[in-house]
Structure 1
């Protein structure tokens, strides 16, 4: 059992050294974990910002990654989140998901944004019930208008035929 503890500490030490270039022998295990988590959070944030500014289309893997980040992170720029939403809508269109189906998929995404925004504000300061209700109304009003500009106007017959198995 002691051997596993030493092995785990050594692996953590190597990761911290690789990311930070610091001598991990000066840190205890808790400090190493904190440094590592901080580095991972910073890299995820940078990746979100970089990809939200990119013109490249998203893959399914990108979408899964971003939806996971939106659930986990509270420090991602809201502008980047909205750009990601737009790209996800385009992604759905590329697979022939248009009209009402795209609206429904985007509505789910918008709910996630609303949760994200509410989480962002509630984590930075304690909100009263009145402030929370007002915030929800404001966010809902903004989000209500977004799908209209994202809705794909392509006809139903322009869907992509996927090969059958």
Structure 2
């Protein structure tokens, strides 16, 4: 009888932890999708702002724009062309022309790629840490439930 109670409690704990893990994964997936939507909207707004602005082009603007091109975001091709012309003007104002401009852009793209890889590694590490913490929490919940069931069954058996 006592063994049957322990088995029921263990099965229930496994079910609770499995459901908890599934809910956490769905929540993380939804958060990730929402974040991707926000990023896409911000990129589109940035390209539109850069293409319509008469303000001088800055290095930060160029870096952001090249990051967008690197991700092949869905943006208006005409806006991309206008921003590309601004990049050309920006580099010309810095005295960078022809092959030098091309190599400067390649170096900049490499730096953007390295930074993105670092951020992706950092982000995946945080996700793994959250998953681990969630699994630990569900294990603690399951163990405390089993312990309480065992105590209940012990008290009941002593009462009988």
| TM-score, normalised via structure 1 length | 0.43
The structure whose RCO (Cα within 8 Å, separation 6+) is larger is 2
Relative to the length of structure 2, the TM-score reads: 0.44
Greater percentage in helix: 2
